[in-house]
Amino acid sequence: MVSQLVLNPVFHFQMITKKKKMVFVIILVFMESVLATLHPEILKGQHLIIAAIAYPIALTEVRNSSGYIIEIGGISALMLDWLSLRYGFSYSVLQINKTSIEGSSISPGYSSYLANGKCDLMVGGMATLYSRLVHMDFTHGFLYESNIGLMIPMPDASINVSAILKPFQMLVWIGIICALSSVLVALYFLLRFSKHFSNERNGENPVQIETDNAPIKKSNHLPKFSLLYIVEVILSQGGYCPDKRLFIRWVTMVWCLAAFVLISSYNSLLVSYLISPNAEPLIHDMKDLSNVSKIHLVVDAGKGFDIGFSKSNYPDGSIYNQLKNKLRDYPNSRCLKTENCVSLVKSGNHVYINSVLAILDVMKKDLQSTGKCNLALAKEKEYASPWSWALAKNSPYLEYFNQGILEMRDFGLLDFWAKWYQPNVRQCLEKADNIMQLKKSSKKDSTRLSLNNLTGAFVVLIVGYLVSFVAFLAEKINAIITAR
């Protein structure tokens, strides 16, 4: 026979601070005096058997070493206290240790106790699923603020080397390379087949360019001169063109003008890409999760999302059908303990799906245990059904519980209590926003370039220095070998 634990309506006050305890008592006394004449006789004096389904924020439980529930808390516990005073009933908690509402043929879940009359009410945060409506009735929702969220690992800031290439699309870079090649070929052949070089081929002295060291024959250095000049101009190094002929000057003038436009456009766009997020999250929303095969979905085994995906039929090609297939194909997708899901998410390429408030509670526990923010929320969230309680099908108590929940909402009690238990993980949420730079900057606090933004540019600069140093060593070694 299933044992029961009779609970005092205020037994869980140990979990509440003295100040909150006083406020709660005042509220209860006031509501009791106002509603004393409205007690329906159907619940007055009744003793209800409650099945407590632990769910973050909605209901928490404390068990002893033998597995017996000795204390419950959360929003549902406060609601039970209020309703017991409102309608004049007492309650006790069913002493069972289950993890699933539906269960299986081998191990029945909480719903079987509701169906065979061993309990009158299931309390906790339960989603209203179509498969559950066949066997039980649900009360009005008591919490509407918990949308579907996706928990991902905290993004890591990376070196933003790609920012140097991002200002222009690939086609623009290809066009620049083609333009550079065209100007190089044009300069080379203009110099090669000009009148001065035709005289050189007829036996006349070749035209020479005076430099600081010694005259250099153009015929021997045409490719080198053309390439160096074009590259110096495009890199804003002020290339020098010693040739005074007008047709050569026209070509170089056009190239200088094109380089000026390109450099101005590039620099104006470069800053925005340098300060753009350099730590991309694993996913942004459910669409990303369904489209990427290497990212796996994990859920709490036997809980709402597991049941919702497993037993619901979705249209082919829909996001939820793709998530259902992803959940079915991955053997480690169902976690017996939430801690197992957290470990998988931390390992990378795993996403944990649950209500936003439940995810915040998981993040808070991980922060308290590790002292670090290892988890984050995906940016986009999806709408979810409100949290409810469940009663047996056609229960005579449903109407009165619905009325009581509406009264608590009208009095503002549900929102007031929700704030007591809402996890505070603001520092982790802000850390993720700062890393991904999701917050919009105000006029007073505009975004400034930092060293982290310029890391990619410095990496490219260092690589350039190394290449130059290697070229310098190669030239020196070649000069020594030639001298011998």
Q: From 248, 275, 302, give the residue that closes a domain.
A: 275
Is 16 inside any structural domain? yes
Instruction: Count the residues in the chain.
Output: 484
> With 50 as the cut, is the pLDDT of residue 463 above it?
yes
Is 438 inside any structural domain? no
Q: What is the pLDDT of residue 125?
A: 83
Q: Which residues contact 381 (CB under 8 A, 6 or more apart)?
A: 147, 148, 149, 150, 356
**Residues 206 and 307 grouped into a single domain:** no
Q: What is the pLDDT of residue 219?
A: 47
Q: From 403, 421, 439, give the residue that closes a domain.
A: 421
Higher pLDDT, 360 or 12: 360
Domain residue limits at 173: 167-275
**Residues 197 and 268 grouped into a single domain:** yes
**Residues 257 and 303 grouped into a single domain:** no
**Residues 394 and 355 grouped into a single domain:** no
Q: What is the DSSP string of 202-239?
A: TTSPPPEE--SS--EEHHHHHHHHHHHHHHHHHTTS--
Task: Tell me the one-letter amino acid at 273.
Answer: Y
**pLDDT tens digits for 85-94?**
989 899 999 8
The DSSP element (H or E) to which 410 belongs, if any, is: helix 398-410
C-alpha closest to that of 191 among 232, 253, 251 = 251
Is 432 inside any structural domain? no
**Residues 30 and 130 grouped into a single domain:** yes
Q: What is the pLDDT of residue 9?
A: 41
Q: What is the CB neighbour count within 10 angstroms for residue 464?
A: 10
For residue 191, give both structure tokens: 């110099």
- Is residue 5 within 8 Å of 95, Cβ to Cβ? yes
Q: What is the pTM of this model?
A: 0.61
**pLDDT tens digits for 60-70?**
888 888 888 88
3-state SS assignment for residue 63 = strand
Q: What is the pLDDT of residue 427?
A: 87
The mean pLDDT value of the chain amounts to: 76
Percent of the chain with pLDDT over 90: 13
> With 50 as the cut, is the pLDDT of residue 217 above it?
no
Higher pLDDT, 443 or 161: 161
**Residues 370 and 307 grouped into a single domain:** yes
- Is residue 100 within 8 Å of 56, Cβ to Cβ? no
C-alpha closest to that of 434 among 289, 278, 271 = 278
> With 60 as the cut, is the pLDDT of residue 468 above it?
yes
**pLDDT tens digits for 255-276?**
777 777 777 777 777 766 666 6
Q: Which range has the top average pLDDT, 75-79, 154-158, 270-274?
A: 75-79
**pLDDT tens digits for 335-381?**
988 899 999 999 888 999 988 888 888 999 999 999 888 898 887 66
User: How far apart are the C-alpha atoms of 283 and 436, rounded to whole Å?
Assistant: 12
Q: What is the pLDDT of residue 34?
A: 56
**Residues 201 and 262 grouped into a single domain:** yes
Supply the angle between the helices 319-329 and 304-311 in degrees, to the nearest 10. Answer: 100
**Residues 56 and 15 grouped into a single domain:** yes
**pLDDT tens digits for 222-260?**
556 666 777 777 676 666 666 667 777 777 777 777 777
Across 175-193, average pLDDT: 77
* Eight-class DSSP state of 59: B
- Is residue 64 within 8 Å of 70, Cβ to Cβ? yes
Q: What is the CB neighbour count within 10 angstroms for residue 209?
A: 13
Is 362 inside any structural domain? yes
Q: What is the pLDDT of residue 352?
A: 93
Q: What is the pLDDT of residue 155?
A: 84
Q: What is the CB neighbour count within 10 angstroms for residue 36?
A: 11
Across 319-323, average pLDDT: 84
Across 23-39, average pLDDT: 57
Number of domain units in the chain: 4
**pLDDT tens digits for 404-453?**
999 999 888 988 888 888 888 888 888 887 776 654 444 444 555 555 65
C-alpha closest to that of 243 among 215, 213, 212, 218 = 218
Q: What is the pLDDT of residue 98?
A: 76
> With 50 as the cut, is the pLDDT of residue 327 above it?
yes
Across 308-315, average pLDDT: 78
Q: What is the pLDDT of residue 324?
A: 86
User: Which CATH number fits the domain that encloses residue 88?
Assistant: 3.40.190.10
